[in-house]
Structure formats: C-alpha cells, structure tokens
Amino acid sequence: MNLKNIGESGLIKQIKKSVKTSSSVIKGIGDDCAVVAFSKTKYMLLTCDMLIENVDFKINDSPFWIGHKSLACSISDIASMGGLPKYALVSLGLPKDLSATFLRQLYRGINRLAGKFHIDIVGGDISKAGRLTIDISMVGFVEKIYLTLRSNAKVNDIIFITGELGAAPFGRHLTFMPRLKEARYLVENYKINAMIDISDGLLKDLSHILEESSRGASIYQWLIPLYRKQDNFLKAISRGEDFELLFTSSAKEAGRLIASGKRIYTAIGQILPKDYGLRLINGRFKEEKVEPLGFLHF
C-alpha cells in the first residue's frame, strides 16, 4: 500500500486518528489553521505550507513571485479563519547551484508581502535540498467571536465566493493577493458561519465545508464568476490555487452583504441538508450531482 492508493485525504485521516491533543487545542488537524487557546478574547492560529519546485512552482518562475506565493498561501489560511497573521518562519531547502541573486529576489517577494500585512519574519532554517523547497509556518490571532471554521455551515445558508475562479493557470497562482482585507471586512461586519480558502478547487473545498458541517449544497453555474481568459467551466471549479474565499452566512446576513453593493462577494448557491449531496445546477437548469473533483497530490 503506497501513498497513491491511500490518497491524500486518507492520509490526513490516518494521521489525525493517530494524534492526541490536550484541552488547549480548540481545533487540531483538519481546518485551514490549528486553533489554540491564547487569551480571554483571542485564539492563536497556527499554519504551515510547503511549496516544492515542479509541484507548486517552476524554477524558471520569477523568484520574487515564488517568495510572494510561499508567504501568500499561509496568509490565505489565516484569513480563512477570520484572523490576522503576525509572525512567520521560513524554512528553505536549497539546491547547491542556486544563485545568491535568486535567493535575494525570493526574499524581496517575501519581505514586500510581509510588510504589506505587518507580518514579522522572525526566523527559519536553511538546508541543502535536491529541489527548491520553501516551508512557511505562520502564527496569527483571531478574536474568538470572529473565528470561522469549516464545520459551522447551516442549512439554508447562502454560499459566497470572492473574486473569480480559473485564473490560476494564467499565472495568478503565483501573484495572487491573499484575501485578508476581504475576510476581515466580513467577520467584522457580518456573521459568517463557515469559511475556507479555495486552494484545492471550488468543488473540493466546498465539499470540505459540507463534510465538516454534515451538509449538502446546490451551486448555480451561471452565478459563478470566471476569469475572462478562462473558458473551461469545469476546470475553473475543479482546479486548485484560486486562493479566493468560500464562505456561508444566513439568508438575512447574505441580504445585508449583497445590499452593501460590494461586488467582490458573489452569492453562488445555498447550503442544503446532507442527503442532497453536492449539486451543480447548469445553464439549462439541469441539476447534476457532482463528485468533488479537485487537486490531488497523490
């Protein structure tokens, strides 16, 4: 039995089962960030993202944007919990023949994004590697009342996404700006029930919310905004690395959000009871039950 047979989600389930945690852990393995006790009013958030050459970027991509992306992925995880990032550690596995200029540019990308979001790069580790490997771990904080988990979607909630889908293959998987500002606007002004960032593809990430919340959902094809150069709808909703937010809130809160006129947030469907599964309603008003296709590592 190797990793390809067991699959990524089987692997995570197996790991989750083997790990025991203490009472200070509010949420362990299985959301975008771990949530642990911090103060009377706040939780601490912990997350890490490992980016590897030829999987998450090509060595010929701009080193500035490789650095940018490696930090942006973790910021996106913190944003999807409703929190604010604060500290980051940067572990680098470096091929011997990498140039000092490449590394300087990589750090320029990291530092510029860190500056924008007031994140302190406080440390890291350097090792020799065959392929360039960047693992960024991040500490953030969230007010307890703002915490948004995957597991709290309610029947009849409206499902929203930010921005548009399908831009990742056109370079935006490197240059995307994590939706931190947009996430904080949401949690500070609305009651958001569940949130996740779209890293594995809309269908896959929505299915994470549905599974953790024990719900079903309908989404409407004609409501989902696509990137203008993207003409393959199925690819746009089943390929990863959009790094948009996917969230749900009650119909009443949704009404307020839509009335705000902020067009970055688009309603695309509704949460249903679990037995409905995940349904995609296409342009011909035909309902089809879909499998949660998405990016698989193995």
Query: What residues numbered 136-165 form the site for a copy of itself, per CB under 8 A?
Result: 137, 139
For position 42 contacting a copy of itself by CB under 8 A, the verdict is: no
Among candidate residues 22, 41, 212, the one with its CA nearest the CA of residue 142: 41
Ranges within 98-117 binding a copy of itself (CB under 8 A): 98-101, 103-104, 107-108, 111, 115
Contact range with a copy of itself by CB under 8 A, out of 2-10, 177-185, 214-222, 243-251: 2-10
For position 40 contacting a copy of itself by CB under 8 A, the verdict is: no
**Residue in 66, 78, 84, 92 binding a copy of itself, rule: CB under 8 A:** 92
CA distance linking residue 197 with residue 178, whole number of Å: 9
Using only C-alpha atoms, the chain has a radius of gyration, in whole angstroms, of 19
Residue bearing tokens 């995880």:
77
**In which order are the strands placed within the sheet that holds 25-27?**
25-27, 34-37, 42-52, 133-143, 84-94, 120-128
For position 118 contacting a copy of itself by CB under 8 A, the verdict is: yes
Nearest approach, Cβ of 117 to a copy of itself (angstroms)? 12
Identity of residue 28:
G
3-class secondary structure per residue, 115-182: HHCCCEEEEEEEEECCCCEEEEEEEEEEEHHHCCCCCCCCCCCEEEEECCECCHHHCHHHHCCCCHHH
In the complex with a copy of itself, which residue's Cβ is closer, 227 or 295? 295
Ranges within 208-237 binding a copy of itself (CB under 8 A): none
Nearest approach, Cβ of 170 to a copy of itself (angstroms)? 23
In the complex with a copy of itself, which residue's Cβ is closer, 136 or 290? 136
Q: What is the DSSP string of 206-225?
A: HHHHHHHHTEEEEEEGGGS-
**Residue in 131, 154, 228, 256 binding a copy of itself, rule: CB under 8 A:** 131
C-alpha torsion 273→275→280→281, nearest 10: -70
For position 94 contacting a copy of itself by CB under 8 A, the verdict is: yes
78-113: buried (b, 16+ CB within 10 Å) or exposed (e) per residue? bbbbbbbbbebbbbbbbeeeeeeebbebbbebbeeb
> φ, ψ for residue 227 (rounded to 5)?
-60, 140
In the complex with a copy of itself, which residue's Cβ is closer, 102 or 265? 102
Ranges within 9-28 binding a copy of itself (CB under 8 A): 11-12, 14-15, 18-22, 24-25, 28
CA distance linking residue 130 with residue 150, whole number of Å: 36
Contact range with a copy of itself by CB under 8 A, out of 90-98, 145-153, 228-236, 261-269: 90-98
**Residue in 125, 188, 287, 291 binding a copy of itself, rule: CB under 8 A:** 125
For position 41 contacting a copy of itself by CB under 8 A, the verdict is: no
- Contact predicate 64/108, CB 8 Å: yes
Nearest approach, Cβ of 89 to a copy of itself (angstroms)? 4
In the complex with a copy of itself, which residue's Cβ is closer, 112 or 154? 112
Number of residues that bind a copy of itself (CB under 8 A): 72
Q: How many CB atoms lie within 10 A of CB 30?
A: 16
**Residue in 62, 91, 152, 250 binding a copy of itself, rule: CB under 8 A:** 91
Ranges within 45-64 binding a copy of itself (CB under 8 A): 46-52, 54-56
